[in-house]
Amino acid sequence: MTQPDSEGQILIGPASYGKSEVRLVKVARTTPRHEIHDLNVSIALEGDFVAAYERGENAGLLATDTMRNVVYALAKEHPLDSVESFALALARHYLASSPSVTRATVRIVAYPWSRIEVGGVGHDHAFVRGAGERTASVSASEEQAQVEAGLDKLLILKTTESGWEGYHFDKYTTLPETNDRILATILTASWTYEPREAIDFNAVWEGARARILAAFTDHYSPSVQNTLYRMGKAVLETYPEVRRIRFSLPNKHHLRYNLEPFGLANDNEIFHVSSEPFGLIEGTVERRP
């Protein structure tokens, strides 16, 4: 049986608790042309929770069930005009609702739905799920709030203007060099905003997404690393509101399949898509201090 720590030498370190993956759908019905917001919200609270962890005293804890209820109640009143503004509203509520909370972090994933087109016109209340989830994260204390936004699960590919040459060879290297390959990745990007007021989160998110995709296309890519830098540079040059941007780019390998055993030539037309193992290229592009 474990003996109690009578000298108080064992303490609870940094800790948080919260509610994860609160699924929220809001349908705006103010006009016959409906709008739909589909969100996944996760909350983590930090603060003075020593009594709860070490002595089992729960008086300073907000129930995670309450955290969930707050998401739905605030969504009723909030226009959900941007996921960043909703995350800020939630974080500020949790800070105000419990005196033991010193920091609230709210992460939101927004699932993209677009209108089904009928006769070239978007339907009033029928939607199809799109690609590339919008993300937002707010970490707020009484003194300040840090806002991040991003993009996840966006599969992008170009069939040429990509290569991999001039890399270091050692005795175990077997991969041949190439100046013409498929470049494909499932893009994740997150950027941190400068601490300023009156940021148009929707405009910057849409614009950053467009700049990332444009930069993916506008050059011969000697490496995923170089393309990562170019995409980040394009966002930072366009939006002074953004302090830094981080990318995670798994290399979704498309390997030219050997058709010679069948007496057929393969002029970069037939590929085997390999899911494992895969290269993973990650990096942050930021402004010089």
Residues classed as catalytic: 19, 64, 253
Using the structure block, give the residue that is written with the tokens 């010679």.
260
Closest by CA to 39, choosing from 128, 120, 104, 134, is 134
Q: Which two tokens stand for residue 158?
A: 């170009």
Q: Which two tokens stand for residue 5?
A: 């720590």
Rounded CA separation 124/240 (Å): 36
Rounded CA separation 267/138 (Å): 49
Rg, the chain, Cα only? 24
* 90 C-beta neighbours (distance < 10 Å), count: 25
Strands 133-140 and 254-256: unpaired
The answer to whether residues 150 and 156 touch, using CB atoms and an 8 Å cutoff, is no
Distances (CA, A) of 36 to 33, 86, 136, 202, 242: 10, 15, 18, 16, 28
Closest by CA to 107, choosing from 125, 134, 132, 131, is 134
Phi and psi based region of residue 95 (left: phi greater than 0; alpha: psi -120 to 50; beta: remaining): alpha
The answer to whether residues 91 and 138 touch, using CB atoms and an 8 Å cutoff, is yes
The DSSP call for residue 270 is -
Q: What is the largest CA-CA distance in the chain?
A: 80
